[in-house]
Amino acid sequence: MKALILAGGFGTRLRPLTYTRPKHLLPIANRPHIEHVFDLLMGHGVTDVVLLTSYLAETFDAIVERGVKRGMTIAVTHEAEPLGTAGALKNAEALVSDGTFLAFNGDILTDVDLGALADRHAATGAEATILLTPVDDPSAYGVVPTDEDGRVLGFIEKPPLGEAPTNLINAGVYVLEPSILERIPKGEVWSAERRLFPGLVEEGAGLYATGTDAYWMDIGTPRKYLQANLDALSGAYRTDAAAALVPKEVLAAKDAFVADDAMVSSACIGPGARVEAGAVLERAVLLAGARTARGAEVRDSILGEGATVEAGARVADQAIADHEVVRPSS
Ligand code: GDD
Ligand code: MG
């Protein structure tokens, strides 16, 4: 089965980190997020991928090369202007052959059983099957009520707070029949969540959904991106990249420096990053070359590439831009 991965959004909620890279390249446990998606696919024998890019498309080149080296076939489409989640799929139509295919929001971290999802799709004979996951606050997602058999009764993208009919939301993983592409206009901006799926419901087409209790996270905001890293450290999300942590819950790249008397807990420390003597690092992600100087304190935060938190400065609940210097407030 082929997998189409949506990776062309601007990642606005993750600015400033996404001024210089798409969110899909931000590290989870020191590996670009999209490679975790590749791991999931490869783990299910899905080696054939189409990456649907737009914003900063060229930054995916190195990852594509690495994927090919590990035995994947990766085609890349490029939208000069983002075509929306359905428009992007339509744009890849020539690369979708006859068979059932997978489509993925590229900013999802999950270890869901794709085989079970595909089986469910086959069993109902659906034209499209949406994976659902439970969340506490559905208002930030696509809310998907179904009947007892899993037939989708509605698709409500980002309903007002408190108005969602269920807490089961669109997990951004779909199994689709190629015929679905005929329902999307060519070359137009078209949203899967606001046009395609609601249209299918209205028509009474074969749109089904099925739930999962597997690990699932959308990494699209600083808080959730950080949480995804913490989940990799704690083992809530299982990944080889963080499998053998000593001491537990601190993952430092080989050439990172962590001073012996730095107080570090629950942190992913990227290549060339430095945590100097007496620094405090709690629930943090340091991208490559980021630096926490002597006695600096960083909590619940992400430091961009080459960013510095100077001696005596404190950072809490923040995403610091690449190369920014944070000085102590006087
Ligand atoms: N190629 C391409 N073109 N990709 C796009 C485009 C586009 O025009 N627009 C968005 N994407 C990609 C994003 O880069 C991301 O990987 C994915 O599609 C989803 O877009 P988001 O912007 O992250 O959407 P969201 O998180 O607000 O909502 C979506 O995901 C939720 C689950 O996390 C929706 O699908 C919701 O219904 C869903 O619940
Ligand atoms: Mg998202």
Average pLDDT over residues 277-287: 97
For helices 61-69 and 33-43, the axis angle rounded to 10 degrees is 30
User: What ligand 1 atom has the least distance to the C-alpha of 10?
Assistant: 14
**Residue ID of nearest Cα to ligand 1 atom 16:** 106
Average pLDDT over residues 188-207: 97
Neighbours of 118 (CB within 10 A): 17
Q: What is the CA radius of gyration of the chain?
A: 21
For residue 247, the model assigns a pLDDT of 67
Domain with CATH 2.160.10.10 in the chain: 244-326
Neighbours of 286 (CB within 10 A): 33
Categorize the per-residue pLDDT at 182 as very low, low, confident or very high, splitting at 50, 70 and 90.
very high
Domain with CATH 3.90.550.10 in the chain: 2-218
Which ligand lies nearest the alpha carbon of 216? 1
**Residue ID of nearest Cα to ligand 1 atom 37:** 142
CATH number belonging to domain 244-326: 2.160.10.10
Options 3.30.43.10, 3.40.50.2300, 1.20.5.50, 3.90.550.10; CATH of 2-218: 3.90.550.10
Using a 6 Å cutoff on CB, does residue 138 contact ligand 1? no
- Residues lying with their CB under 5 A of ligand 2, a single-atom ion: 107, 218, 220
Q: Would you report the helix, strand and coil content of the chain in percent, each value rounded to 5?
A: 30, 30, 40
For residue 246, the model assigns a pLDDT of 64
To which residue do tokens 């559905």 refer? 138
| Beta bridge mates, 259 | none
